[in-house]
Amino acid sequence: MQSEQKPLLSVRNLKTYFFQDEGTVKAVDGATFDVYPGKTLGIVGESGCGKSVTAQSILRIVDQPGRIVDGEIVLRGADGNDVELTRLHPDSREMRDIRGTEIGLVFQEPMTSFSPVHTVGNQIVEAIRLHCGVNEREARIKAVETLRQVGIPKPERRIDEYAFELSGGLRQRAMIAVALSCNPRLLIADEPTTALDVTTQAQILDLLRQLQEQRGMAIMLITHNLGVIAEMADDVVVMYLGRVVEQGPVDAIFHSPQHPYTRALLRSIPSIESTPRVELPTISGSIPHPYNRPSGCPFYPRCPEFIPGTCDQAEPALRAVSEQQSVSCFLYQSQVSQGQGTKPSEGMA
Amino acid sequence: MAETTSPNIGPALPASPREMLPQELPTSQAEEQIAVATQWQLMWWRFRKHKLAMVGSVILILFYLVALSVDFLSYADPDASEAQRSLMAPQSIHWTDNGRLSPYVYGLTGKRDPKTFKRVYTIDPEVKIPVRFFAKGFEYKWLGFIPSDIHLIGVEGARADETLFILGTDVQGRDLWSRLMYGTQTSLFIGLASVALSLFLGVVLGGISGYYGGVIDTVIQRVIEILRSIPTIPLWLGLAAALPGSWSVQQVYFAITIIISLLGWTELARVVRGRFLSLRQEDFVMAARLAGCSQMRIIFRHMVPSFLSHIIAAMTLALPAMIISETSLSFLGLGLRPPAISWGVLLQDAQSIQALAISPWLLIPSIPVVVAVLAFNFVGDGLRDAADPYG
Amino acid sequence: MATMDQILLDVKGLQKFFPIRRGVLQKVVGYVRAVDDVTFYINRGETLSLVGESGCGKTTTSRCVLRAIDPTAGQIHFRTDDGAMIDIAALPENKVQPLRRFMQMIFQDPFSSLNPRMTLLDIVGEPMLVNGMTDRQERQERVAELLTLVGMRPEYMRRFPHAFSGGQRQRIGIARALALNPQLVVADEPVSALDVSVQAQILNLMLRLQEQLGLTYLFVAHDLSVVKHISERVAVMYVGRIVEMATTEKIFGSPKHPYTEALLSSVPKPDPRLRSQRIVLEGEVADPANPPTGCYFHPRCRYAAEICRQETPAQEEIEPGHYVACHRARELSLRGIGKS
């Protein structure tokens, strides 16, 4: 699925830790992935897996007391030059420009990201003026145009309304309009549809796909919803407790998942396609609290394929199991007696 | 009721193995301790981390210890005046005499300056007045019932005019240290009494407002708004002027307490109301209702314990305001009047520039006011941060 | 399919209007028709799901059934121990109270639903205590039994809720709901606040408990996958009304209401090979304070005809057990999930 193109964004071994009184929370602990132009990368995981902090790290908007402690984030600039984002100061002019013009961001809850005392239009116009260097009139024309593109009816009128006057779906559209106002080459969407109803979610997902086709931008879609990932993503990164456990093309992830976590997760979700009222296979236990992160592979206490003495001792590295798919699990690593690439039986859970 | 209680669901069937938690991480002792910790323990663990609040608590404990043992700490009758000793400067205590630990002060001789008619005191290095610890002095009853005549320091067996003035004297020649001790007692306890009364008003009215809502709520909220919009000084002026001049010190004391708390309850009422309103929305309150709990049980078992800690924090933050109110009222001559002694009454003597220029030590009572208010605020801050250990 | 032909709960013409007040005098200027003429029944031992988008009135309906809020109009008949049907909607509060032990609730938010200041013993034991089980020993035994039943270790009963994860707290909430041995359990979005990997545990638990204890569930949810997994019958709500009600197979396999069809096609399927030809609904959910004329769904309906703009469709039983409120239900052939 991946083209021969160079990635737009490369994240290598990213580590973002939060240093708190109670201890250090390794929110992201060695994330590695690429985002290609015109493609959608889905990042999927449950609460505490570090998917949102990954996005914040890329944008350099990690809240105190969090800090990027290691790794690189390379953004391929429009002129072909690479920019290493971790080297920039979060408040520097360069970084602010990147946030405005190269990378757009869409949050889960659009209400909190709009100022209640300014009209929606005001905020879009401001963003356009700030980052695109045009005057107020042009910015307003462009803002109306953007609102129309994201499917807001009567944009000339809506532009003068406040965020609280819009419905949830329209607010999310307006939020996307703000993110798109300066034609970013990468759109990071952090749970963009979680707060919305299914029919509205379908509208927003459709809109994102349509905008991607028109503009050829890359999308990094962060969500816990496997259905949304299956509908939208080209490539998928599965995260668990700050680590990438598996990554690969969407079809491989859903049809030949390799990591025990991915496999168990896919089996445990109730699907609209499945037979009703039968017992679902489950993942035992619950996600550990970030302060109590298990040593070794973070998934081992819940893992059906746990190898005592190995999984609880060392952390597995991300290794390729096929051309496009890689997994971080000892089942696929040569030092384990089973040998490389051995597929454990499916029915062991 | 019997059939309600007898479970007819049969023997407890074990959960199917899939739902059990087979590879649970072993819980450590510390986690086990946290797991069974009550809200007060969790609050204490959090409060302990707030350094300023801990310092504030120590200071406050010391303050109230002082307030409880004023008779022991003071060494002179706070009301004994003597024109011959008016406006003496603080004496410094000399701790050693010829290398031996034997604290003493030099005697003072006072003369009236014939030009300015001010009394001028000169140190007489010939007269060494020994200062003793745990000296005998005037008789008192500690905590109101233990008779004693021991004082922390004092001059023993000396002649009548040889006394000690650590902080000097006021215009009427009364010992400022001893007066400050008694003033501390009055001011700290008037604060407590006012807060207790405000708390009662605040919890009852705020509770009614928050629990029942509707018209009652609207009325109480409007009253609070009106009370809060009245400028305090004129209101105090009016209320204090209404106190009959013939009232005794005790009567005035109580009247002032009531006046202060009548204005002070509004903040607490708002806190209580806010808590009630947010708790009414909590699912566990609905669950209690559906389980069949009575209203009384819901209020006292579920709601009150949930906001008690917030009330304590709000109270601690309200106390300094009460103390300041009393101090400013008395300073303006509207609150306690002599012969009652409080910080405000003491500071009344320091009203004129002239008095300050000649006798700056009269400003000393402002130090405990500042320290106590700061300490209360620090402790209140710490309590507020710790009040919701589940947040 | 209904397992027993005995109706446990029968709701007829339920309405709940919330007044909209404006101005200084708080004058009522209109009503939000949160629940507008809802009729359904639940057989003993079965699971009926109320499904719909936010603001469709599903939660309000469930709270009315428990009389946690008072309905504006309508009847709620509940079968008591002795087999008689009592109209709960008409009873004064003090008469409802003794009936509450037959209907309990599982809440959405596992954090807000447990009093953080009480131990598990007190939380799960409280319903027993206030209903007359005053003996502490007896209560303790029963709490231990209930905790085991929901898959928690009884040794944990001295702990406070803060020691547990969301999924475990939800188990505790279920144990409390079962404390009085209820017949009807209203579950309001019981898994939507949980992590995906934990949802399945709770759903399995609820299914097992239903089997073991013969419980009847009124399940309120917005997630159609969860609804499909747990229910025997489903009622789809839109703007305060039930637009379609039938068995799970019929609702998902051969829906008869255009809204149901659109809802089903909107759900993202966790399989990239099934990237669907979705029916994306235009526009927004109607405002329950100011609903459109005729069928509330007609402005978004791609099958809308003239009659839909003018007349409100009545709930009709077009096949045995399949109720639809649509003028064109009989003529349309709509798409379901899988084989249609």
pLDDT tier for residue A349 given thresholds of 50, 70 and 90: very low
Q: What are chain C's domains?
A: 4-231 (3.40.50.300)
The strand order across the sheet containing B119-130 reads B94-97, B100-112, B119-130
Q: Is the CB of A199 less than 8 angstroms away from the CB of C262?
A: yes
Q: Tell me the whole-structure pTM to 2 decimals.
A: 0.84
| pLDDT, mean of residues C310-338 | 91
Q: What is the DSSP letter of A150?
A: T
Among chain B residues, the shortest Cα distance to A268 is held by B18
| pLDDT, mean of residues C191-204 | 90
Q: Is the CB of A281 less than 8 angstroms away from the CB of B21?
A: no
Q: How many CB pairs under 8 A join B and C?
A: 123
Residue whose structure tokens are 């668990």? A240
Backbone angles phi, psi at B138, to 5 degrees: -70, 155
pLDDT recorded at residue B162: 60
User: Residue B101's domain spans which residues?
Assistant: 91-164
The count of residues in chain A is 349
The CA distance from A235 to A189, in Å, is: 15
Please indicate, yes or no, whether residues B221 and B134 belong to a single structural domain of this protein. Answer: no
Q: Is the peptide bond before A281 cis (omega within 30 degrees of 0)?
A: no
pLDDT recorded at residue C338: 67
Which residues of chain B are under the pLDDT cut of 70?
1-28, 156-163, 391
Straight-line distance from the first to the last Cα atom of chain B, in angstroms, rounded to the nearest whole number: 39
Tokens linked to C14: 């339920």
Tokens linked to B365: 């009572």
pLDDT recorded at residue B27: 59
Among the three residues B164, B190, B213, which one is the final residue of a domain in this structure? Answer: B164
In this structure, is residue B6 part of a structural domain?
Answer: no
Q: Is the CB of A271 less than 8 angstroms away from the CB of C232?
A: no
Q: Does C339 contact chain A (CB < 8 Å)?
A: no
The CA distance from B88 to B120, in Å, is: 8
C119, C120, C121, C127: CA torsion to nearest 10: 110
In this structure, is residue B328 part of a structural domain?
Answer: yes
pLDDT recorded at residue A344: 44
Chain A positions in Cβ-Cβ contact with residue B24 (cut-off 8 Å): 285, 301
The half-sphere exposure of B44 on its side-chain side, counting CA atoms within 13 A, is 6
Residues 287-306 of C with CB under 8 A from B: none
| pLDDT, mean of residues A339-344 | 41
CA angle C164, A287, A290 (to 5 degrees): 85
Tokens linked to A51: 């998917």
Lowest mean per-residue pLDDT among A35-44, A171-180, A236-245, A327-336: A327-336
Chain A positions in Cβ-Cβ contact with residue C198 (cut-off 8 Å): 283, 286-287
Chain B positions in Cβ-Cβ contact with residue A294 (cut-off 8 Å): 25
Contact A2, A179 (CB under 8 A): no
Where in chain A are the domains?
9-240, 248-337
Please indicate, yes or no, whether residues B367 and B307 belong to a single structural domain of this protein. Answer: yes
pLDDT recorded at residue B329: 81
Backbone angles phi, psi at B68, to 5 degrees: -80, -20
Please indicate, yes or no, whether residues B129 and B263 belong to a single structural domain of this protein. Answer: no
Q: Decide if domain A9-240 falls under CATH 3.40.50.300.
A: yes
Q: Count of domains in chain B? A: 2
Interface test with A, best of B25, B28, B34, B45 (most A CBs within 10 A): B25
What residues have CB less than 8 Å from C77, skipping those under 6 apart? C7, C9, C10, C11, C12, C85, C86, C87, C88
Please indicate, yes or no, whether residues B259 and B351 belong to a single structural domain of this protein. Answer: yes
Question: Tens of pLDDT along A88-97?
Answer: 998 898 898 8
Smallest Cβ–Cβ distance between C130 and the set B12, B20, B293 belongs to B293
Tokens linked to B27: 């819980």
The CA distance from A110 to C94, in Å, is: 44
Q: Does A201 contact chain C (CB < 8 Å)?
A: yes
pLDDT recorded at residue B335: 76
Q: Is the CB of C115 less than 8 angstroms away from the CB of B302?
A: yes
Chain B nearest-CA distance from A247, in A, is 26
List, in sequence order, the alpha helices (H) in C231-339: 248-253, 258-266, 306-310
Chain B positions in Cβ-Cβ contact with residue A282 (cut-off 8 Å): 18-19
Residues 18-57 of A with CB under 8 A from B: 21
**CATH number, position B254:** 1.10.3720.10
Q: Is the CB of A254 less than 8 angstroms away from the CB of C270?
A: yes
Question: Tens of pLDDT along B306-347?
Answer: 888 888 888 888 888 888 888 888 888 777 777 788 888 888
What residues have CB less than 8 Å from C288, skipping those under 6 apart? C32, C33, C34, C36, C55, C57, C239, C240
Q: Is the CB of B31 less than 8 angstroms away from the CB of C97?
A: no
Smallest Cβ–Cβ distance between A294 and the set B16, B20, B25 belongs to B25
Q: Is the CB of A284 less than 8 angstroms away from the CB of B20?
A: yes
Chain B positions in Cβ-Cβ contact with residue A305 (cut-off 8 Å): none
Among the three residues B164, B195, B221, which one is the final residue of a domain in this structure? Answer: B164
Please indicate, yes or no, whether residues B106 and B224 belong to a single structural domain of this protein. Answer: no
Residues 233-272 of C with CB under 8 A from B: none
Residues 9-68 of C with CB under 8 A from B: 66, 68
The CA distance from A67 to A170, in Å, is: 34
Please indicate, yes or no, whether residues B304 and B190 belong to a single structural domain of this protein. Answer: yes
Residue from B337, B317, B315, B316 nearest B326 by CA: B337
In this structure, is residue B60 part of a structural domain?
Answer: no
ipTM field: 0.88
The CA distance from B88 to B165, in Å, is: 8
Q: How many Cβ atoms are within 10 Å of C92's Cβ, its own excluded? A: 7
The CA distance from B234 to A334, in Å, is: 86
Q: Is the CB of A202 less than 8 angstroms away from the CB of C207?
A: no
Cα B129 from chain centre: 36
Backbone angles phi, psi at A173, to 5 degrees: -65, -40
* Longest pairwise C-alpha distance within chain A: 69
Question: Tens of pLDDT along A305-317?
Answer: 888 888 888 889 9
Helix (H, G, I), strand (E, B) or coil at A282: coil
Please indicate, yes or no, whether residues B213 and B334 belong to a single structural domain of this protein. Answer: yes
Chain C positions in Cβ-Cβ contact with residue B5 (cut-off 8 Å): 128, 131-133, 138
Cα A301 from chain centre: 26
Q: Does C180 contact chain B (CB < 8 Å)?
A: yes
pLDDT recorded at residue C4: 45
Chain C positions in Cβ-Cβ contact with residue A228 (cut-off 8 Å): 268
Query: Does the pLDDT value for residue C286 go beyond 60?
Result: yes
CA angle A295, A300, A306 (to 5 degrees): 130
The CA distance from C245 to C321, in Å, is: 8
Please indicate, yes or no, whether residues B131 and B198 belong to a single structural domain of this protein. Answer: no
In this structure, is residue B3 part of a structural domain?
Answer: no
Query: Does the pLDDT value for residue A207 go beyond 70?
Result: yes
Interface test with B, best of C117, C212, C220 (most B CBs within 10 A): C117
Residue whose structure tokens are 């609040």? B53
For residue B187, the surrounding DSSP H or E stretch is helix B176-212
Q: Is the CB of B18 less than 8 angstroms away from the CB of A285?
A: no
Smallest Cβ–Cβ distance between C160 and the set B36, B292, B306 belongs to B36
Neighbours of chain B (3+ CB pairs under 8 A): A, C
Among the three residues B140, B164, B188, which one is the final residue of a domain in this structure? Answer: B164
Question: Tens of pLDDT along C230-251?
Answer: 999 999 999 999 999 999 999 9
